[in-house]
Amino acid sequence: MEKMIKISILGRESEFKMEKIAKISIFERESMFKLEKMVKISILGRKREFKMEKTVKISILELRCECTLHLQ
């Protein structure tokens, strides 16, 4: 059984294979999510680390979006 991850950003939900790097476009900027124990997110040139089992809150241009990472 393949492991998949669901990421919800601004109400849009996407699924990604865990063994690959997920690319997510936010305001036409590409962010890379390494799907390991820690998720490294680079937004507007800033890198942040989040634990996968928690909800990730990201503030972008004063808009807050929640990325809830679910393991399937």
Span 3-48, pLDDT tens digits: 555 555 555 555 555 444 444 444 444 454 444 444 445 444 555 5
The reported pTM is 0.22
pLDDT: which is higher, 16 or 1:
16
What is the phi-psi region of residue 27: left when phi exceeds 0, alpha when psi lies from -120 to 50, beta otherwise?
left
Could you give the CA distance from residue 57 to residue 55 in angstroms, rounded to a whole number?
Answer: 6
Given pLDDT bands bounded at 50, 70 and 90, which one contains residue 61? Answer: very low
Per-residue pLDDT at 63: 44
Give pLDDT, residue 9.
Answer: 56
